[in-house]
């Protein structure tokens, strides 16, 4: 037997079935027309944003990094909950535009921005977080050619990293950002060139559950920004402090203590140095805002025994939920939170392997899990599917096609 990850708070059974946003899984599937289906809950998105507003200092802006979930109805809904958006490609910027979101509200980070992407973003008055000196030169040249004043910020590659983060994106040699010691000279150059100076972006890592690590990193970020602003010799209009707030995926993971993070940040904000006194401050979150609000529903197609083990074979799999299969940045595969949605309040009575329909042994959703007995036709729910699901999985692999998505 192997443990399953913890099911996020807020999911209940209605008539014995998992309900999402108050509606039974089977009803949602009937409305969508078929499985596999991602369901995202407005109530949970709203609740998560409200919890952050309650705990973070009022002055702190909260941005949504849309690579976690760029589903158009989700973007439209998030627009009412956050203070800004962060994108990592012109394609993401276009998606925001289609959702009716003003690009002037957006910042664009990411290594390897093509000229066409820079041109599109500059023309739309989006802030560009420059990732290299070469990118700065290209952005300035494109803006001059178009006769517009670009809004430019610099993404810093800091010398520290976010301790305990699942994915490190700062510290040491990195493809992200500009090494901190080279930032002041570049900032002075782009200010002298007449760009609208938008400040600094310091993102150090992702998926951290340890409040102390985040508190320490935020203190380091503020100290570094203060020092760099001093060396640049110009006020810092804006500081994107990064994010990194994680969610529990696996057995033994405990939720991040945002109360502690918010309290520590409030203390810092009460004694900001002069260089940051008038700076607009924000964090950028992806999975923390949307991850727990999503559930992936898939139907059992076959049930069979092999060498004494039970296999529940579903119509879903890693082509929609790569992360749950353990193939998206994990070293040792562990089970995500998962349940038999159509027997959500039943007691576990058997050990089963839940797998996808792809012809590869990598396509596993749960190994040796303790579950209620499930038959062909029952629905399986994989939780924590609101972030890095539909768009972070190889939907074309093996030709089964994409999953449906709905916001309820
Ligand atoms: C991916 C990314 C995020 C979002 O990360 P989460 O772990 O989903 O919060 C935020 N900022 C940048 C720059 C990113 O690359």
- Give the list of residues 6+ apart from residue 305 with CB closer than 8 angstroms, or none: 311
Cα 81 to Cα 63: distance, rounded to the nearest angstrom: 9
Catalytic residue among 126, 357, 359, 384: 359
Which amino acid residue places its CA nearest to atom 5 of ligand 1? 286
What pLDDT does 170 receive?
63
Cα 75 to Cα 67: distance, rounded to the nearest angstrom: 11
Query: Mapping DSSP to helix (H, G, I), strand (E, B) and coil, where does residue 37 land?
Result: strand
What pLDDT does 161 receive?
86
Query: Mapping DSSP to helix (H, G, I), strand (E, B) and coil, where does residue 266 land?
Result: helix
What pLDDT does 352 receive?
98
Ligand 1 centre distance from Cα of residue 108 (Å) = 12
User: Token pair 């901190």 is at which residue?
Assistant: 180
What pLDDT does 169 receive?
63
Which amino acid residue places its CA nearest to atom 6 of ligand 1? 286
Is 86 close to ligand 1, i.e. is its CB under 6 Å away?
Answer: yes
- Give the start-to-end residue ranges of the domains of the chain: 12-40+292-407, 70-285
Is 62 close to ligand 1, i.e. is its CB under 6 Å away?
Answer: no
CB 205 within 8 A of CB 329: no
Which parts of 50-126 are beta strand (E)? 61-65, 84-87, 106-108
Partners of 240 in the beta sheet? 201, 282
Cα 120 to Cα 90: distance, rounded to the nearest angstrom: 7
CATH code for the part of the protein at 70-285: 3.20.20.10
Is 287 close to ligand 1, i.e. is its CB under 6 Å away?
Answer: yes
Is 36 close to ligand 1, i.e. is its CB under 6 Å away?
Answer: no
Cα 369 to Cα 385: distance, rounded to the nearest angstrom: 18
What pLDDT does 164 receive?
75
Which amino acid residue places its CA nearest to atom 14 of ligand 1? 65
What pLDDT does 52 receive?
98
Residue 282 annotated in active site: no
pLDDT in tens, the chain (408 residues): 999 999 999 999 999 999 999 999 999 999 999 999 999 999 999 999 999 999 999 999 999 999 999 999 999 999 999 999 999 999 999 999 999 999 999 999 999 999 999 999 999 999 999 999 999 999 999 999 999 999 999 999 999 988 877 666 666 899 999 999 999 999 999 999 999 999 999 999 999 999 999 999 999 999 999 999 999 999 899 999 999 999 999 999 999 999 999 999 999 999 999 999 999 999 999 999 999 999 999 999 999 999 999 999 999 999 999 999 999 988 899 999 999 999 999 999 999 999 999 999 999 999 999 999 999 999 999 999 999 999 999 999 999 999 999 999
CATH code for the part of the protein at 12-40+292-407: 2.40.37.10
What pLDDT does 329 receive?
85
The answer to whether 12-40+292-407 and 70-285 have equal CATH topology is no
């Amino acid at each position: 037997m192997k443990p399953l990850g913890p099911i996020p708070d807020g999911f209940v059974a209605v008539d014995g079935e998992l309900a999402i946003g108050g509606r039974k899984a089977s009803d949602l599937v009937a409305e969508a027309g078929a499985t596999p289906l991602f369901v995202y809950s407005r109530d949970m998105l709203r609740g998560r944003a409200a919890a952050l507003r309650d705990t973070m200092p009022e002055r702190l802006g909260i941005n949504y990094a849309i690579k976690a979930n760029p589903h158009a109805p989700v973007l439209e809904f998030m627009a009412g909950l956050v203070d800004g958006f962060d994108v990592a490609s012109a394609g993401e910027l276009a998606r925001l535009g289609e959702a009716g979101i003003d690009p002037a509200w957006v910042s664009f980070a990411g290594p390897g921005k093509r000229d066409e992407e820079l041109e599109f973003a500059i023309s739309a008055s989006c802030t560009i977080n420059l990732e290299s000196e070469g990118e700065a030169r290209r952005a300035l040249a494109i803006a001059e050619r178009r006769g517009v004043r670009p809004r430019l910020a610099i993404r810093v590659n800091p010398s520290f990293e976010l301790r305990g983060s699942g994915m490190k994106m700062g510290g040491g040699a990195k493809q992200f950002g500009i090494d901190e010691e080279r930032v002041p000279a570049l900032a002075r150059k782009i200010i002298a060139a007449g760009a609208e100076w938008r400040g600094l972006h310091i993102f150090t890592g992702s998926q951290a559950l340890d409040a102390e690590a985040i508190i320490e990193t935020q203190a380091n970020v503020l100290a570094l920004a203060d020092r760099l602003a001093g060396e640049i010799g110009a006020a810092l209009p804006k500081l994107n402090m990064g994010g990194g707030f994680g969610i529990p995926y696996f057995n033994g993971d405990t939720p991040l203590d945002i109360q502690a993070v918010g309290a520590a940040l409030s203390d810092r904000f009460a004694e900001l140095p002069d260089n940051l006194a008038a700076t607009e401050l924000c964090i950028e979150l992806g999975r923390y805002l949307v991850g727990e609000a999503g559930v992936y529903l898939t139907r059992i197609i076959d049930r069979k025994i092999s060498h004494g083990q039970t296999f529940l074979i579903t119509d879903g799999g890693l082509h929609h939920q790569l992360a749950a299969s353990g193939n998206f940045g994990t070293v040792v595969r562990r089970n995500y939170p998962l349940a038999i949605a159509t027997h959500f309040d039943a007691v576990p009575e058997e050990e089963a392997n839940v797998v996808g329909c792809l012809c590869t042994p990598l396509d596993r959703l749960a190994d040796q899990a303790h579950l209620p007995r499930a038959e062909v036709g029952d629905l399986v729910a994989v939780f924590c599917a609101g972030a890095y699901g539909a768009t972070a999985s190889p939907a074309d692999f093996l030709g089964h096609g994409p999953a449906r998505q709905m916001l309820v």
